[in-house]
Amino acid sequence: MAAVKIMDARMDSGMQLPATELPESDRLDGSMVTSSTDDFDAFKPLTVPDALWIMDRLLACEAAWHQGSALSQTLYTCLYFHAIKSLSHKHPRFQPPNDNSEQMNTTSDPEAGNSSANSFVPDRTPPQLVYKVLRAFILGTVKAIDVAWSELTSKQHFHDGEDYSSDKNGLSLLETTDTGCVVAELDDALEPISLPSAEHTWRILNGILDELQDVVRVLQRPGFLSWKIFFTHRAIDYQSSQPLSATPYVRSLMQTAICDRNMIASRLPLEWIAEAFFQEIALIDPLLLRRASRIGRNSVEGGSQTMWNAPPPLGQRIHYFQQRISGQLVQYLTTLSQNRSRCKRTLASRLYREWVNISEEASDIGRRLEECLAPGERYIPDSLFAATQHVSLEIMTQITLSGFELDLYSSGTDSESMWWLASRIQVEQKMVCTDLRDELSSWLEQAAPDKRPRGSSSTILYLSRQILLAQALEQLSIGTTFLMQLSVQQGGLTNGKKNDQPVQWSSSRKEDPDGLELAAAVFASRTKWMRTNAARANDREASDQDDPCETLWQDYLSFSSELHATAPLKLLMVAKERLDEAILHLQHLAGTLTEEKGSNLGEQGFNDFVASLFTTAHHNREVLEQVADSESLKNGASDDRAPLKGSKGKALTEWVFEHPWFPKWMPDQGSQA
């Protein structure tokens, strides 16, 4: 999806475009154009505009490499880069002319003065522009690319050729040159230089600098919830922020900051992230988990004989469970730093099944742990399961709704079924978070103030926000399906992204059996990630009713049949009710955001996400109000199956995705009464 394909501009290495095809800012003066690179003279005097032009182009080349272009298309197109070893102040061509030697040269060859190596004019073409300023700038650019190249290739967080190109073509990027030496060269050559206007280039580089500050904030403020919120909304914004931010180098640094050499944030042990996860989401004391990991292990380590096929003691299971959780949490957070296409594939192909198995194991361990703990131990039943199930449902939400970010779903039944599926996921998320919050709140009310765990208020606030968000997403998802059906009944719709026609397959086998079979196949391909390894192993023995995808498909068919049989007037009223509920939940959620002070990691991204949801819901509600004020409704039309037109004869015919997951429904400006 994001890989390099044929006709991709990044494959055009080696092509020399005609001057007419180049941007005006990239065109050279006719007198400067050479017929061949063999005529290039690295020692040729440069004026200040010449040096600035080369530096500006090289800066743009660096920015292009950060966006995924090859070195052969960017850095290697600079001929001065290939002559960098010759650009030294000790080179004879850069030495100031000697009066005696100049007189001898002039006497022996009158024409030599025109082509003399020492042809620099001190006022107009100082040699320092080449061997000091330009050389230092090239060294700094090459070393900056080398630092990013080393991070990308050594950590291997990304696939070569998909997010970046690592091919050096056998050339050196100053790997053995110390960074401090390059910095010293830059300091020595630093002078006030005014670059030409290059707004796009500076936006990319400024975005990189801003994101490097985010890397520092991630390292300075370790915490699972803050990291989860930050990386989740950073992933959601990935598509809309391209190509001005989220470079592979910064995203690789983010993953290194999360975990590098089994160290979290470069200083914490790997087990810390599992303890922080359970403590911040379910208020499970880390000391309790450490004590529980010793249950039944002393007898084994002391040397007592056990049967070879005996189940492991509870403590050993908890110890391995924590290690497994730690690894999967790191995998989850680092996956959110991948490009959005890779992120969706990784979540669907590996992480979801792992977290389903983890949730099942957490449920079993939680029951056994409750039996072994003393009465005074602070442990909420099923809190282990609730915490892991919350992450599983979050992964399901990302997999389902990220398809709208990537423009994977066609308009019509395909998109409608995915919004319906998202609503079902949010119902489960709401139930899990509500049960956990109520259990924790009840326990906190009974506990003395000094016995309440640190951070309990933050946990309750987080769960309350997740409940409100799940309720809003549920109502928006269902409301959007009603809006889509209403638009189809009013004469069709167009997608603001693709201008395609909706594909509406019949939900009745009698009306269109082939269309229904095709729709079922598409739905199965969209939800195949829900089949866990256990379900796949039993595919031959299990019936269709045991397949979660088949069960969901049958549920969707029932919903779709009722939806298609609903009259336009009823659709309009139900859509308004759904949007009203979504707006109410979002208003309550926004109220909790204003109460929190300070600038926490990820807070701004979450605030922007909620604000965008509210703007979309409010816009769609206003459009429905226009339709409700139509003349047919004002006159009390008896035929509720009649088409609904807006007050100005406009029908709902177009969607525009300003929010990544839900569209704004726009009246057709060309349909006038």
Position 196 scores a pLDDT of 43
Tell me whether residue 585 is in a domain.
yes
Same domain flag for 377 and 450: no
Residues 283 and 155 in one domain: no
Residues 227 and 268 sit within 8 Å (Cβ to Cβ):
no
Which own/partner contact pairs does 311-319 have at CB distance under 8 Å and 24+ positions apart?
314/365, 314/368, 314/369, 314/372, 317/365, 318/289, 318/292, 318/293, 318/365, 318/369, 319/293
In a domain, 380, yes or no: yes
- For residue 126, tell me if it sits in a domain: yes
Lowest mean pLDDT among 74-88, 113-127, 239-253, 319-333: 113-127
Residues 414 and 375 in one domain: no
3-state secondary structure of 543: coil
Q: Report pLDDT for 583.
A: 96
Q: What pLDDT, on the 0 to 100 scale, is given for residue 499?
A: 42
The pLDDT of residue 227 is 95
Q: Residue 569 to residues 565, 642, 644: CA-CA distances in angstroms?
A: 12, 8, 8
pLDDT for 30: 58
The DSSP bridge pattern shows strands 268-269 and 664-667 to be: unpaired
In angstroms, rounded to a whole number, what is the distance separating the alpha carbons of residues 651 and 435?
Answer: 43
600, 606, 612, 614 alpha-carbon torsion, rounded to 10°: -100
| Mean of pLDDT values over 177-197 | 74
Q: Mind listing the pLDDT tens digit for each residue in 358-377? A: 999 999 999 888 888 766 67
As a whole number, mean pLDDT of residues 233-254 equals 82
With respect to residue 187, please indicate whether it lies within any of the assigned structural domains: yes
Does 517 score more than 50 pLDDT? yes
State percent of the chain over pLDDT 90: 40
- Kindly report which listed range (85-99, 249-263, 632-646) carries the lowest average pLDDT score: 632-646
- Amino acid identity at 420: W
116 and 105 Cβ atoms separated by less than 8 Å: yes
Indicate whether 601 and 673 sit together in one domain. Answer: yes
| Residue from 33, 16, 141 nearest 80 by CA | 141
Q: What is the mean pLDDT of residues 293-299?
A: 72
Give the pLDDT band (50/70/90) at residue 101. Answer: very low
10 is a domain residue: no
Residue 183 lies in a domain: yes
CA distance linking residue 617 with residue 583, whole number of Å: 6
Please, which pLDDT band fits residue 513 given cuts at 50, 70 and 90? confident
> Which has more pLDDT, 80 or 27?
80
pLDDT above 90: residue 198 = no
Residue 203's H or E segment, with its range, is helix 199-220
Last residue of a domain, one of 399, 419, 441: 399
For helices 413-446 and 271-282, angle between their N-to-C axes, nearest 10 degrees: 80
Residues 190 and 240 in one domain: no
- Looking at 379, 399, 419, the residue that finishes a domain is 399
Mode of pairing for the β-strands spanning 259-260 and 263-264: antiparallel
Judge contact between 585 and 430, C-beta under 8 A: no
DSSP 8-state assignment for residue 149: H
Q: Is 30 within a domain?
A: no
- Asked if 145 and 252 sit in the same domain, the reply is no
557 lies in some domain: no
For the residues 140-156, what does the mean pLDDT come to? 91
Instruction: Please indicate whether residue 98 or residue 575 has the higher confidence score (pLDDT).
Output: 575
Pairing verdict, β 652-656 and 494-495: parallel
Domain end residue (candidates: 163, 196, 229):
196
Same domain, 350 and 283: yes
Beta-bridged to residue 268, according to DSSP, are: 264
Residues 6+ apart with CB under 8 A from 47: 124, 125, 129
Total domains in the fold of the chain: 3
What DSSP character marks residue 473? H
Same domain, 329 and 431: no
| Whether residue 649 is found in the same domain as residue 621 | yes
pLDDT(529) > 60 = yes
Residues of the domain holding 144 = 39-98+120-196
Helix axes 603-628, 568-595, angle to 10 degrees: 150
Q: What is the pLDDT of residue 115?
A: 41
Residue where the block lists tokens 């979050």: 394
Residues 125 and 78 both lie in one domain: yes
Cis peptide before 18, with omega less than 30 degrees from 0? Answer: no
Mean pLDDT of 560-573: 88
pLDDT in tens, 301-318: 444 555 556 677 888 899
pLDDT at 264: 95
Unique residue bearing structure tokens 């949801």: 613
Give the CA dihedral 381, 430, 342, 322, nearest 10 degrees. -10
pLDDT at residue 51 tops 50: yes
pLDDT band at 105 (very low <50, low <70, confident <90, very high): very low
| Residue percentage of the chain with pLDDT more than 70 | 74
**Torsion angle, alpha carbons of 604, 609, 614, 616, to 10:** 140
Q: What is the mean pLDDT of residues 633-657?
A: 54
Asked if residue 370 and residue 436 are part of one domain, the reply reads no
What is the reported pTM?
0.76
More confident residue, 492 or 613: 613
pLDDT for residue 84: 87
- Calculate the average pLDDT of the chain: 80
The pLDDT of 579-603, averaged and rounded, is: 82
**R_g (Cα) of the chain, nearest Å:** 32
Are 230 and 166 contained in the same domain?
Answer: no
Q: What is the pLDDT of residues 217-227, one digit of tens each?
A: 999 999 999 99
Which of 654, 400, 372 is closest to 526 using CA atoms?
400
